C-alpha cells in the first residue's frame, strides 16, 4: 500500500487518539498549527465532550474505550455527536452515543439509524413561539418571529395591504410597511435610550461636535455601531441620557481608577464596557451590555477589583475561563484564561498563544482609540 494511503488510514482509524491530543489544546493553538479554525473548534468541542466529567461516567468510559478499540474515524465520531447532542434528558445523549458507537453497519446505515433513534427519543423538538434576534453582519441584523399561524398570517395580510411598490422583491416590499406598523405611523413607539456605553476618541468627538461626523463611526456596548450623524441626532433627541461620563485609559496599563471592592461599582463596570464593547474572547460577539464583569486575576486568588484587573465576559466564557491556571490539576481540559497584555485583554491559550477577538466592534473599544 502507498505510504500516503497508510498514513491516511492510520489517521482515520484513530479518531479517539487524535481527539485526546486535541483535548490538551485550545482551538487557537490548533489553528496556529495549520488546522482551519472552525474545524479546530469542532475537534476541541468534541474532545471536551468525550473526556470531560459528564452525567454518565461509566457509559462514557466504556464508549470511548470501544470507539478506540473499533478504530472509529473522526468523521464517524462527529456524526455520532451531531445526533447525540439533540437529546437533552439527563443521560440520554451518552446512551445514544454508546448505542451508535457499538452499532455494526456502514456510515450511512448508522446515520439513518441515528436519525430514527433521535425521533423516537423526542430529540427533534418542535418550534417554540418567540422572538429571536440575530448577530450583526455587515451592519445588518435579523429578527425572527415564531408564533401561531393565525397571528403571523394576520400580520402578513396587514403588511401586504400596505405595500407601495409591487416591483420590489417581496421581502424588501414588506420592510417599510413593517416598520410603519411597529413605529406607529411615526408616533414614536420605538424610542431607545442608549444607557449603553459609546466609545469615541477625542479627535472624532471634536469632528462630530463641529458637524463633520458623516465619516465617523463609533461603536456601542450593545454590539452595534452608529455614524457621527446618528450620534448627534440621538443626543439631540435626548436618547443618550442627561449625563456624560469620561473614562481615563493608559496606553499599556488599561483603564485607570483607584477603587477597591469585591463587586464592581457602576463606574468600574462602565470603564470595563468602554474598553471591551463585546466579550473579548476570540470570535465571541455577545455585546458588553449582556456580559458579566470578570476579574482577570481571580478574586479568590487575591485579584483586586480595580479597572486594570476587570473586563467583560459573556456568561458562557466567564464560566469556562480557567481561573486557576496551573495552580491545580483540572478535571476537564483547560480552555485558556484571559490576560492583560500590553494594556489589552487577550485569551492566553493552553499552548501559550495570546489571541484577541477579531470581531469588528471588538476593535473599536477605548484602548483601540488611544
The DSSP H or E segment spanning 344 is strand 344-348
* 66 & 100 share domain: yes
Residue 170 falls inside a structural domain: yes
Task: Evaluate whether residue 96 is within a structural domain.
Answer: yes
Same domain, 360 and 277: yes
Residue whose grid cell is 483547560: 334
Query: Residue 64 falls within a domain, yes or no?
Result: yes
Same domain, 49 and 108: yes
Q: Are residues 11 and 100 in the same domain?
A: yes
| Same domain, residue pair 93 and 10 | yes
Domain end position, chosen among 70, 93, 120: 120
Q: Is 188 within the bounds of a domain?
A: no
Q: Is there a single domain that holds both residue 174 and residue 213?
A: no
* Residue 183 confidence (pLDDT): 79
**In whole angstroms, what is the distance from residue 216 CA to residue 344 CA?**
23
Considering the domain architecture, whether residues 148 and 257 belong to the same structural domain is answered as no
* Residues 258 and 360 occupy one common structural domain: yes
Which of 69, 99, 120 delimits the end of a domain?
A: 120
φ and ψ at residue 145, rounded to 5 degrees: -120, 125
**How many domains would you assign to the chain?**
4
Q: Indicate if 346 and 304 belong to the same structural domain.
A: yes
Asked if residue 36 is part of any domain, the answer here is yes
Domain end among 120, 149, 173: 120
Residue 244 lies in a domain: no
Residues of the chain with pLDDT under 70: 1, 7-8, 10-11, 124-125, 185-196, 202, 206, 209-213, 236-238, 240-265, 325-332, 370
- Predicted structure pTM score: 0.61
DSSP assigned state of 367: G
Contacting residues for 139 by C-beta, under 8 A, at least 6 apart: 225
| Size of the chain, expressed as the number of residues it contains | 370
Res 252: pLDDT: 65
Whether 280 is in a domain gets the answer yes
Listed residue (306, 309, 304, 288) closest to 364, CA to CA:
288
116 and 134 co-located in one domain? no
Confidence (pLDDT) at 2: 72
* Residues 266, 210 share a domain: no
Distances in whole angstroms, Cα of residue 218 to Cα of each of 141, 214, 273, 292, 359: 17, 11, 14, 22, 14
Q: What is the dihedral of CA 281, 284, 288, 291, to 10 degrees?
A: -80
Contact indicator for 293, 269 with CB cutoff of 8 Å: yes
- What pLDDT, on the 0 to 100 scale, is given for residue 12? 72
Domain that holds residue 173: 130-182
Clarify whether residues 209 and 294 are in a common domain.
no
Q: 208 lies in a domain? A: yes
Confidence at residue 99, expressed as pLDDT on a 0 to 100 scale: 95
CB 357 within 8 A of CB 190: no
CA distances from 232 to 205, 214, 238, 317 (A): 10, 10, 10, 35
Amino acid at each position: 500500500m502507498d505510504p500516503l494511503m497508510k498514513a491516511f488510514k492510520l489517521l482515520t482509524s484513530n479518531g479517539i487518539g487524535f481527539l485526546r491530543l486535541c483535548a490538551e489544546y485550545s482551538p487557537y493553538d490548533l489553528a496556529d498549527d495549520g488546522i482551519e479554525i472552525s474545524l479546530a473548534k469542532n475537534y476541541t468541542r468534541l474532545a471536551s465532550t468525550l473526556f470531560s466529567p459528564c452525567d454518565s461516567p461509566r457509559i462514557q468510559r466504556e464508549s470511548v474505550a470501544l470507539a478506540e478499540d473499533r478504530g472509529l474515524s473522526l468523521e464517524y465520531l462527529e456524526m455520532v455527536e451531531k445526533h447525540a447532542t439533540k437529546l437533552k434528558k439527563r443521560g440520554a445523549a451518552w446512551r445514544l452515543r454508546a448505542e451508535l458507537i457499538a452499532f455494526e453497519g456502514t456510515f450511512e446505515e448508522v446515520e439513518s439509524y441515528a436519525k430514527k433513534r433521535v425521533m423516537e427519543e423526542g430529540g427533534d423538538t418542535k418550534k417554540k413561539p418567540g422572538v429571536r434576534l440575530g448577530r450583526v453582519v455587515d451592519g445588518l441584523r435579523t429578527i425572527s418571529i415564531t408564533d401561531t399561524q393565525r397571528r403571523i398570517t394576520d400580520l402578513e395580510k396587514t403588511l401586504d395591504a400596505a405595500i407601495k411598490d409591487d416591483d420590489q422583491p417581496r421581502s424588501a416590499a414588506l420592510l417599510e410597511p413593517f416598520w410603519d406598523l411597529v413605529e406607529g405611523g411615526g408616533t414614536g413607539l420605538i424610542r431607545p435610550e442608549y444607557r449603553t456605553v459609546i466609545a469615541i476618541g477625542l479627535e472624532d468627538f471634536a469632528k462630530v461636535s463641529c458637524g463633520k461626523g458623516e465619516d465617523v463611526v463609533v461603536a456601542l456596548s450593545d454590539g452595534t455601531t452608529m455614524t457621527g450623524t446618528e450620534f448627534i441626532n440621538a443626543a439631540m433627541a435626548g436618547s443618550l441620557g442627561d449625563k456624560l461620563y469620561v473614562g481615563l485609559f493608559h496606553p499599556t496599563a488599561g483603564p485607570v481608577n483607584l477603587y477597591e471592592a469585591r463587586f464592581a461599582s457602576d463606574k468600574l463596570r462602565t470603564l470595563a464596557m468602554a474598553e471591551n464593547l463585546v466579550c473579548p474572547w476570540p470570535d465571541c460577539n455577545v455585546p458588553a451590555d449582556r456580559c458579566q464583569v470578570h476579574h482577570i486575576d481571580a478574586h479568590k486568588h487575591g485579584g483586586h477589583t480595580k479597572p486594570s484587573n476587570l473586563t467583560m465576559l459573556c456568561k458562557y466564557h466567564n464560566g469556562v475561563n480557567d481561573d486557576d491556571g496551573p495552580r491545580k490539576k483540572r478535571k476537564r481540559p483547560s480552555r485558556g484564561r484571559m490576560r492583560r497584555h500590553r494594556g489589552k485583554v487577550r485569551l492566553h491559550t493552553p499552548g501559550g498563544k495570546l489571541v484577541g477577538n477579531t470581531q469588528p466592534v471588538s476593535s473599536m473599544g477605548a484602548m483601540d482609540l488611544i
